[in-house]
Chains A and B, each alone.
Chain A
Amino acid sequence: MDLLQGWNPGTILPNLLAWGGGAAEEAAHGAAEHGGKHEPGFGWKMLVVAIIIGLIMGLLTVARSGYKERVFKNPITQCAEQLFLFLQQLALGIIGKHGRKYLPMVATYWLFIFVSCIFGLFFDWTPTADLSLNLGLAITAIAYVQWEGIRTNGIAGHFGHFAGPKLGGIMVIVSGMIFLIEIISEAMKLLSLSLRLYGNIHGGHEVLLNLNQLGALNFGPHEAYIPLGGLLLPIKLLTCLVQALVFTLLFCVYIGLVTSHEEH
């Protein structure tokens, strides 16, 4: 159980649920002591990731159970169908006609990020509010994009594409510079994908924590606790949706960039 130390689940409900005086005290004094951070240990983090993956698997299993009927009556199946249609439209619209092939990857990213962010509405730590996991997601996404590029265009074609248009003579130096810049931009894709998700979700948590501190009033012997951060929850819900969409959208754009050359 050494892995599961450093994070007390009794104090992890910073939002609407934390009405008690203990939570107010935590918000008023505890945050200053801990620098406003309640960083869980590694074991807790892995547990949360496992719970989220289990949640997704369970929901999809339930959705699949209503899949055999001629008309979908199971509401979860209907939701899954709508999600599938939405993501399919996204993939087909951005990647092109061969976008269906990448649908499983796109749906995996969307589901994981969305469910993680929804999880983050209730708890003050969530996988997507952690830079390590976001970087992992971004690395898998970009590695998959590179792999698909190599598979579509061949190794020479894929990396030759980095060098821009073919230039003769002394302009080879320019091609070399373009190649370098393209490599840097690939690395920046990693940074931008991971930092965007991290900043949005973690930033939302920070703002919520600060608002909760604002609402922790201390009138001498009486303590009042107004969870002002709860007012932010609708906006955070929108953020969840938008961030899941943006990540998958950019993934589709990158995939579309490296695989669309066969058509012209």
Chain B
Amino acid sequence: MLGLGIALGVAALGVGIGQGIAASSALGGIARQPEAAGKIQTAMLIALAFMELVFLLTFVSALILQAKVTPGA
């Protein structure tokens, strides 16, 4: 169970940093070129979605592992 917590924490840390970098670059881009805001937003959303997928994979693995670890479940 401790391993699950650590795995989720590390995954959240990594995804948080990655998404922060992506969002900050996108915001910087929008600030420099406000007319390109729509395109940048679309690209940013796609990038964020792919980054989030990594965390969700960890989350689903954690759920599966939890079902294995929990007795009687």
Contact = CB atoms under 8 A, between A and B. Distances in A.
Interface of A: 35, 93-94, 192, 195-196, 198-200, 203, 206, 242, 245-246, 249-250, 253
A206 to B, nearest CB: 8
Interface of B: 38-39, 42, 45-46, 49-50, 52-53, 55-57, 59-60, 63, 67, 70, 72-73
B49 A93 contact: no
* 4 A-B pairs with least C-beta separation: A199-B56, A35-B73, A246-B49, A192-B53
A199 B62 CA distance: 11
Which residue among A35, A199, A242 has the maximum number of chain B CB atoms within 10 Å of its CB? Answer: A199
A195 B42 contact: no
Contact of A249 (B45, B52, B57, B73): B45
27 contacts: A35-B67, A35-B73, A93-B39, A94-B42, A192-B53, A195-B53, A195-B56, A195-B57, A195-B60, A196-B52, A196-B53, A196-B56, A198-B60, A199-B56, A199-B57, A199-B60, A200-B52, A200-B56, A203-B56, A203-B59, A242-B45, A245-B45, A246-B46, A246-B49, A249-B42, A249-B46, A250-B49
A151 to B, nearest CB: 25
Majority-rule SS of B interface residues: helix
A35 B53 CA distance: 25
A106 to B, nearest CB: 14
A30 B52 CA distance: 31
Given A196-B53, A246-B49, 13 more contacts: A35-B70, A35-B73, A93-B38, A195-B53, A195-B56, A196-B49, A199-B56, A200-B52, A203-B56, A206-B63, A246-B45, A249-B46, A250-B49
A243 to B, nearest CB: 9
Nearest to A247: B49
B49 A199 contact: no
A77 B46 CA distance: 30
A123 to B, nearest CB: 20
Contacts of B42: 93-94, 249
B46 A253 contact: yes
